[in-house]
Amino acid sequence: MVTLIACSHGTRSLAGRAAIGALVDQVRALLPAVEVAEAFVDVQDPRVEEVVDRTVAGSDGPVVVVPLLLSTGFHTRVDIARAVSRHPGRAVAAPALGPNDLLALVLESRLAALDPGADDALILAAAGSTDPAAAADVAAMAARLSECLRMPVSAAYAAGADPRISAAVSAARAAGAARVIVASYVLAPGYFADEIAACGADAVTAPLAPDLRIAGVVVERFTAAAGLLSAASG
């Protein structure tokens, strides 16, 4: 049996843990024939390397780690990559969830009640990372959302990269925006969701998970990575 390890960041927020748990349950419902385990890169246990080691030791089937992370960054390039590298031919990591058109649709649905218009400024707010690849992923996601909404969307960050969200909000307001609307590009409640919510915008959307479309992205990442692992070992 193939095992999917759904690896999220980890949070102290009980609401955040519940949101990620609900997302993982949605993945289980979409993949009833697949064993789905949870792992984390920080804050919570069990850590991803422990889960990968235990799963490989206890099964003769392949193991696919799917990051429940929206962008490439340290946790995908180092933590998750290191966990699977210890088991060549048995374990593989899928890419981060974003950018992805389904995520743009989830963001669009979160923004629908706010009805953003031509006089409003729209900012996609991500957690942020010092890894340039993460900023590239967020910029690509902002471009997809812009195409979806047919209006400009800029990107800003809670940490790790510029512009910071509060500075982007201030700049948009100074430029004459009727409203500054921030689309929260984080999966679940927690530290970064709180930072985004406190940015001073006129409106901020809720985090993205759980959502069946995001579970669909997880399944898509899993299926592609499992196929590559099967081809490499076959």
- As a residue count, the chain comes to 234
pLDDT of residue 234: 59
CA–CA dist 204, 197 (Å, integer): 6
CATH topology agreement for domains 3-97+211-233 and 101-204: yes
Q: Show me where the domains of the chain are located.
A: 3-97+211-233, 101-204
Helix (H, G, I), strand (E, B) or coil at 154: strand
Distances (CA, A) of 30 to 15, 139, 157, 184: 23, 30, 32, 26
Token pair of 78 as six digits: 């180092």
DSSP, res 94: P
Q: Which amino acid type is present at position 189?
A: P
Distances (CA, A) of 177 to 36, 119, 203, 223: 45, 6, 13, 43
CA–CA dist 216, 116 (Å, integer): 27
Instruction: Among 3.40.50, 1.10.287, 3.40.630, 3.30.1120, name the CATH number for the domain at 101-204.
Output: 3.40.50
- In this prediction, the residues of the chain whose per-residue pLDDT falls under 50 are none
Contact 233, 126 (CB under 8 A): no
Whole-model pTM: value is: 0.94
pLDDT of residue 202: 98
Sorted by sequence, the CB contacts under 8 Å of residue 21 that are 6+ apart come out as 38
Distances (CA, A) of 150 to 119, 167, 193, 205: 13, 24, 26, 18
pLDDT of residue 59: 87
Residue that has been written with the tokens 């649905």 in this structure: 109
DSSP strand pairing (203-204 vs 91-93): unpaired
Instruction: Report the sign of the C-alpha dihedral through residues 71, 217, 6, 55, in that order.
Output: negative
| Virtual torsion, Cα 103, 6, 131, 156, nearest 10 deg | 30
Residue that has been written with the tokens 């921030």 in this structure: 182
pLDDT of residue 228: 75
CATH 3.40.50.1400 fits 3-97+211-233, yes or no: yes
Helix (H, G, I), strand (E, B) or coil at 129: coil
pLDDT of residue 141: 98
